[in-house]
Structure 1
């Protein structure tokens, strides 16, 4: 029952000094909310990046040649023949081989012209770009093989040109080279990029897709070659096989073939974001220590103000342990209240930010538990000295205190 009496006394003291108690809690509130918000923001960004790479495809990789002494020649670039030989050599282990050409081009319908990105797709285009087709169809292997002038438009592009998203069967003109070429719209897709990706791309960037064979000629040289492995789990072995094959074909040492994959890039970004989140979270946690100092300061003031009360309680039989417990509970309650408010504030900030940017936020329960537990330890740690000072007070001297 004594514990409940101490809680009642602590609540009474807090209510008697509402503003002072709130200002004391403020350090804990800011510290807890900052730690939860920053760490959750880092976890959210890591989740967003992981989802973006999953949308791109973790089986995607690309390579380029970094020749010795920066001496570039015909064997340091890739041609359509190289792509065909690579696909033939690797067989079904590679789901896609292409150059990922994407250029800003003018598209015209009647008197209306818009500049947008036109990207080329090779055989098995869905392995490279899994678009959400809402009207018509995706580009086919025959479109690529027969160099058909077919195009897949983004919904916003179709609506801008024709006033209707269903533009299948209509034609547009694209200035691929010097002259405008007419394309038949065979499909319309809906952009499913996240708000973050759209922001990184400039917000209003629109893409259209055509057979890559119309953009890459047999005698053109390309700096990089992209491929998608059929089994993501075999990415490392496939990179080694592709590197060895391309080095033999180009008569180069394997170390001059530079390879990178989406999974590697995702891992590096995830590691960087994790480290950054931990460092910034640790810096934010310093404010918890500042909040703890504030608790110690106010508890020392409280002990001084209540010296006579302490003397009366001791004269009536209160033990040193009872006085110590009373002031420790008061410090813990101030810290816990600050931690609770800070937790709610931190989660609210993350949730509001997620709604504004249209992304799913990640708030890990263990982050909340660790932050609140740490704040409680800080409160108890910094409340211990004032509590010990109160407990050791001489009741005779305390009763004389004015």
Structure 2
């Protein structure tokens, strides 16, 4: 009997194709919106996690926050402070930097390119480990000796010299208000994601130089950055660093702020997750609207088929059979809308990912929940019309014109 009811439901849907499609439209829009929005949020979370991994999972920074917000020279950090901190941590800190960078012009002859000039400290590949295609990356000796070397992005080299292999050539730029000539020792290919490129200044390429030529021993900065060795207890080491900085700077421990990339990532991930859930829930409201549309069209269908209901009851159909018939029809419309909406939502996310060049994240559990919710909505809103059809008096139904 169940298969007969399914055949009747399919026949009714095929007989009113346009009406059935318009009824499904609410479910299609609802399901595709939920899947697209939640998947977009998951993709953003995945991208942020990936970028923080690129920064280095052991990255952290510290600064002094005076209770009166009045900074003195003693509250700032010098290169000597960084060296002392690294030595005091006894190998638990692999790299200390001040993350110096500035947007500036680099020139070769009459050609000019705007780049983000980034200084790297000792153990530079902890800070940046680009894909070198020509020459080499900066090393510790370059930084200790304050070599006037630079590593360019391939696109910058191509624009300046007409070729990507610019190793051995020179550029001129301004550092600390002085014109400097830098020797190109390496060229790298930018493999950053779209998000990372946006964070680094959008259309401006990075060029890497020794941090030692960007700041003198007497220069000071408000924050100090450090990379912790692998397999370290991050909170414990952060606490140790806070205590050391407090003693070094003659400050109260509570005035020293030490924040890690993992903590930042957790905060951003939590915000993105909450935002995705809220926007997804708002989009899910359209599923309720779609359910109301299903109820409306099923009520119309019950009215139109009153005589059919009377004939079936006269031929022996039970109340339960009539109710199941209309419930199946409502569920079929809802399920079809859910399937089409799922395909549409995944397609929109996939196409968007291809356009911006990022890998999208579509979790199967999100698809299952969205489709299950649409089925529940279809059955829930189809229940009242089904009951109304099942309770019709066969005599009155046969008299209906």
Structure 2: give runs of 5+ residues left out of the alignment: none
**CA drift at 1:291:** 0.8
**CA drift at 1:196:** 2.4
The equivalent residue for 1:346 is 345
Over 3 Å counting, the alpha-carbon distance change for 1:232 and 1:102 in structure 2 is farther
The equivalent residue for 2:159 is 160
1:27 pairs with 2:19? no
Q: Give distance in 2, aligned partners of 1:62 and 1:200.
A: 18
The equivalent residue for 2:332 is 333
**CA drift at 1:233:** 4.5
Structure 1 residue matching 2:77: 3-state secondary structure? coil
| 8 A Cα contact 1:196 1:357, kept in partner | no
The equivalent residue for 1:53 is 52
- The equivalences for 1:177-196 within 5 A come to 177-196=176-195
Structure 1: give runs of 5+ residues left out of the alignment: none
| 8 A Cα contact 2:41 2:276, kept in partner | yes
- The equivalences for 1:252-271 within 5 A come to 252-271=251-270
1:216 pairs with 2:215? yes
Q: Deviations over 1:319-348 (max 9, x none)?
A: 111111111111110111111111111111
**CA drift at 1:163:** 1.0
Q: Deviations over 1:323-382 (max 9, x none)?
A: 111111111101111111111111111111111111101111111111111111111111
Structure 2 residue matching 1:92: 3-state secondary structure? coil
**TM-score when normalising by structure 2:** 0.98
Q: Give distance in 1, aligned partners of 2:302 and 2:70.
A: 79
Q: Give distance in 2, aligned partners of 1:212 and 1:199.
A: 23
The equivalent residue for 1:373 is 372
- The equivalences for 1:120-131 within 5 A come to 120-131=119-130
**CA drift at 1:202:** 4.3
The equivalent residue for 1:112 is 111
Q: Give distance in 1, aligned partners of 2:155 and 2:186.
A: 13
- The equivalences for 1:377-396 within 5 A come to 377-396=376-395
Aligned length: 401
Q: Give distance in 1, aligned partners of 2:174 and 2:323.
A: 83
Over 3 Å counting, the alpha-carbon distance change for 1:203 and 1:68 in structure 2 is closer
**TM-score when normalising by structure 1:** 0.97
| 8 A Cα contact 2:121 2:211, kept in partner | yes
Query: What stretches of structure 1 move > 6 A for 4+ residues in a row?
Result: none
Q: Give distance in 2, aligned partners of 1:314 and 1:107.
A: 87
